[in-house]
Structure formats: C-alpha cells, structure tokens
Amino acid sequence: MKPVMLLWALLLALPAHADAPADEIPMYAVSLVGSPYRLGGTSPETGVDCSGFVGHVFRQVAGVVLPRDSRAISEASEPLAQADLLPGDLVFFNTLHRAFSHVGIYLGDGRFVHASSSRTGSVMVSNLNDRYWRERFDGARRVVAPGVAPAVAASAARE
C-alpha cells in the first residue's frame, strides 16, 4: 500500500470525534509519519527520537510538557492494562535491554506510531502484535492532565 493511502486509511480508522482532544493526539501523531529520526531530536522538521516525538505531540496538541526521556515519561503517566488502551495512550518497550527504553502513541486496533531509529529512520506506524514489539512490550500508560483524575480522563476519552 502506498504511504499516502496508508496515512488516509489510518486517519479514517480513528474515532470520528475530531473535536475531542483524545482524538487529536493520534491524528496529529499520524500526520508526522515520515518525519526524520534524530537521537535527542524534538522537532519533526529536523528530526525526533521516540521521547522527543511523544513530547512534541503532547505539547502541540494538549499543551502538556512531558519529561524528556521515555523512562521518565513512564513514571509521569498513569499505568493501565493493555486491554484498556485507548487512542492517544502511550505504549512502552524494552529495546535497549532496559525497561521503558522506547515509547510510542497508541492508535487503536493494535497499532502505534513512534520514531524508529532502526527500521526506517523515521516516524512510522507499527503493530503491537508483531513479534519484535510483542516480545519487548513493557506496558501502557495514560497521560493525565494535572488536576484530572485518571478515571475521569479515561471516561472523557471514551465519549
């Protein structure tokens, strides 16, 4: 499938409530597919690494400033079961022989978007069920705005 067609298919597969912030996060994240990878990068124009990508998306869409590395992001977000994942939640992986060394944004239907250094050298969409990611999955987290209880945020995201 051509990249442009894949992007449209992903955008159309996302929930239709474009006015909800929870939908804006995955939509904006997917719009950055193809942006270059750069270790330590935080800008899609010049390159992003995984935590720089996630931080950029949450800062631009939700005004939330996340810590700069994936482990710190995992500690600053609320744990949740994989079965409770919603689009816009975070997925973490052990890719460097240490916990929470890679992070991406969940899109739904087992897909997530992330800045990959080794596969494409760019922001890409991958599947949680692919053997590589399944074997390295470290958990899921939800970014909760300050002052908002996680249950309230989860319920608002489902509406």
Task: For 33-85, give the DSSP string.
Answer: TTPBB-TT-EETTTEE-HHHHHHHHHHHHH-----SSHHHHHHTSEEE-GGG-
Q: How far is 32 from 10, CA to CA, in rounded Å?
A: 12
Active site amino acids = 50, 102, 114
Q: Is 107 within 8 Å of 25 (Cβ atoms)?
A: no
